Structure 1
Amino acid sequence: MEIQQGYPDFHALPTYGAVHGIAVMGLVHRAMADFLPNFQGHNHVHGENFLELKKAYPIPNGREEIKLETTAKVVDIVDRRSGVLVFVDIETVEEGTIDVLCVNQWGGFVMKVPTAGANTTPIQRGPRTTLYPTLTRAPDKITAHKTSPEQAALYRAASGYLNPLHIDPETAKAAGFPAPILTGTCPLGMGVRHVVDAFAGGDGRRFKSVKCRLSKPIYGALGQVVRTEMWREEGGRRILYRQVVRNGEREKIVIGMAAVDLWEEGGAVKP
């Protein structure tokens, strides 16, 4: 069945909450030269992400409009030998209220900057910094998605995070990549959708949070196929997952140490 925007249950995917984080990170990205020596914009890539919805969806489902306000704060800078990992807390509220709709934590890896003064290990901050081990048994579910060059451009345009690394081949080469890379939130959205489809019957209202590490780039321009491997933890409402791409005979993990937490069935806040 084709669902039009006027359909009563039309809604954004639950990872739309990450868009607010991407948008404000455009401002943080432009300010990084103020506190990171030798900062070059094309050397900043998405390294980790945490997203939690305080309500089932961070925006209404099209039947009304609200204004949102998103703020960002740098909370940690960690030594990664060849650069630093910058953690940014991001909070989105309904404008004029303290009604929190969603929170993000963005971990941005900035290559080729001095690491003097950075922390040697991340400050532990609960679910925002927790990374999950991949289980050794066979996955409970596997889903695949073929990427395309348009995906990076669409995510870039929707969020306002206009880093040319995601669309310009020359910028990608300057950063050491053979082609433009997908924004990290693009495979993040793929993974969450695969989990929700596989373990929540496609009901996005059951999505509560996601945490993942973006380990390797994905090249949408090359049409890479991303495979999401998923494991249900005992208890049923936490799904561990990783995402893998194949290059010839070799495979590489592009998103790992990841988990999606679901609300219990029927327990989500309704949009």
Structure 2
Amino acid sequence: MPSFAYNLLSITMPPPPSTIGLPTIKTLSWSITTSYNVSQIISYNLALGALGTNLALVYEGHPTFHALPTFGAVHGIAVMGLVHRAMSDFLPNFQGHNHVHGEHYLKLVRPYPIPTAASGIEEIKLKTTAKVVDVVGKGPMSVLIIVDIVTVEERSGEVVCENEWLGFVRKVPSKGANTHQLDRGVRSTLHAMPQRAPDKVLTHKTSPEQAALYRAASGDLNALHIDPATAKSAGFPAPLLTGTCTLGIGVRHVVEAFADGNVGRFKSVKVRLSKPVFAALSEEVRTEMWRDGGRVLFRMVVGNGEEEKVVMSQGAVEMREDGAKL
């Protein structure tokens, strides 16, 4: 599991508000320092379904050893733990179980944010900072909270990756929030799927072991993703696979299908997290993909026919045409 050292900026908060004070909320900032080594990279790759025979993903001595692209989301998960815990300070009537991950954007500023074994660096330290960029009302008692997340390499100060987390929060009075979501380009753009058969389809069968491994590899230790009693109390039939794990599987499928596994082609991904996957029930996820110019549109589905449910929707992976090959 990544090693986390917390560095929350010192902010004196007033009592919980009765309305949303958007100008004040936008001044808040949270930072966290994370470190990782090859063990975390291997565990993360395995948690997304990498084969033990794919040495580039599981053997640190391989000349092209690397992390899968969505490893950049792990650092967003880490800092969002701080943001989530602070929401009761700036959102009226906030209750943690009413906050769900609704959409996600990840951009790799460098094609390979994770140094390879050849770098000779045993442990990498990153600093990740999160800021709320918007709160949007969705009716009188729900809001969208949009958090911008930037990760830099601590040693060089170079930006490694950018995440944007859109959370949907129920039972929060929306007075004071914006009435419309701001256009943030590819960060806020969702895509309709083409009205034709997918160009490529790949499948992955989940398992309870995968859910447990991803919790450890990502540092997201929410009991909702492992404990049946917690899941039942939240109204679910079984523990949920972490949404960023489902996303990671989908991006892995896109890279395999359209870039021959060359992660250097990956630039960014934007997707809506529509419904949960229940790894405890060993659900099989199907990634349906369409080539669309310089991007790959995709959705992720469980089941068929009347039992079909779309778990990731309106997704797009932006590809680098000149991505260097590992």
Both structures adopt the same fold (TM-score exceeding 0.5): yes
| Alpha-carbon distance, 1:66 to partner | 3.1
> 1:240 maps to what in 2?
297
Look at both structures and tell me which one has the larger radius of gyration over its CA atoms: 2
| 1:163 alignment counterpart | 222
Unaligned runs of 5+ in 2: 1-52
| 1:13 pairs with 2:68 | yes
Question: C-alpha deviations, 1:54-112, integer Å up to 9, x for none?
Answer: 11122212342432110001111122346322111000011154411100001112233
Q: Say if 1:62 and 1:44 are closer, same or farther in 2 by CA, change over 3 A.
A: farther
- Where do 1:171-186 residues align within 5 Å? 171-186=230-245
Give yes or no for the alignment of 1:109 onto 2:164: no
How many residue pairs get matched? 267
Could you list the structure 1 runs, at least 4 aligned residues long, displaced by more than 4 angstroms after superposition. Answer: none
Note the residue ranges of structure 1 that are not aligned, 5 or more in a row: none
What amino acid is aligned across from residue 124 of structure 1 in structure 2? Answer: D
* Partner residue of 2:180 out of 107, 117, 121: 121
Question: For residues 224 and 92 of structure 2, what CA distance do their matches in structure 1 show?
Answer: 20
Higher relative contact order (CA 8 A, sep 6+): 1
Return 161-170 or 176-185, whichever deviates more. 161-170
2:37 maps to none
Q: How does 1:53-202 map to 2 (within 5 A)?
A: 53-63=108-118, 64=121, 65-81=123-139, 83-95=142-154, 97-202=156-261
8 Å CA contact 2:295–2:319 kept in 1: the answer is: yes
Percent of aligned positions with the same letter in both sequences?
A: 66
- Post-superposition Cα deviations, 1:98-136, rounded to whole Å, max 9, x if no partner, equal 411100001112233322322232111111111111111
Instruction: Using structure 2 for the length normalisation, give the TM-score.
Output: 0.77
Letter matched to residue 55 of structure 1:
R
- Does 1:43 find its partner at 2:98? yes
How many Å separate the matches in 1 of 2:324 and 2:128?
21
Shift in Å at residue 269 of structure 1?
Answer: 5.3
2:320 paired residue among 242, 257, 263: 263
Given residue 311 of structure 2, which amino acid in structure 1 is its aligned partner? Answer: V
1:114-162 deviation line (CA, Å, top 9, x unaligned): 2232223211111111111111111000111111123333232223233
TM superposition shift of 1:213:
0.3
Q: Would the alpha carbon gap of residues 36 and 173 (structure 1) be closer, same or farther in structure 2, given more than 3 Å must change?
A: farther
Deviation at 1:33, TM superposition (A): 1.1
1:208 equivalent in alignment to 2:267: yes
The alpha-carbon deviation at position 10 of structure 1 amounts to 0.8
Q: Distance in 1 between matches of 2:95 and 2:221?
A: 14
Q: Which is further off, 45-54 or 144-153? A: 144-153
What TM-score results when the alignment is normalised by the length of structure 1?
0.92
Residues 195-218 of structure 1: CA deviation (Å, up to 9, x unaligned): 110100111111110000001111
- Cα 1:40–1:152 shift into 2, 3 Å: farther
Residue 30 of structure 1 is matched in structure 2 by: 85
1:212-238: CA deviations, max 9, x gaps? 0001111111111111000001x3x20
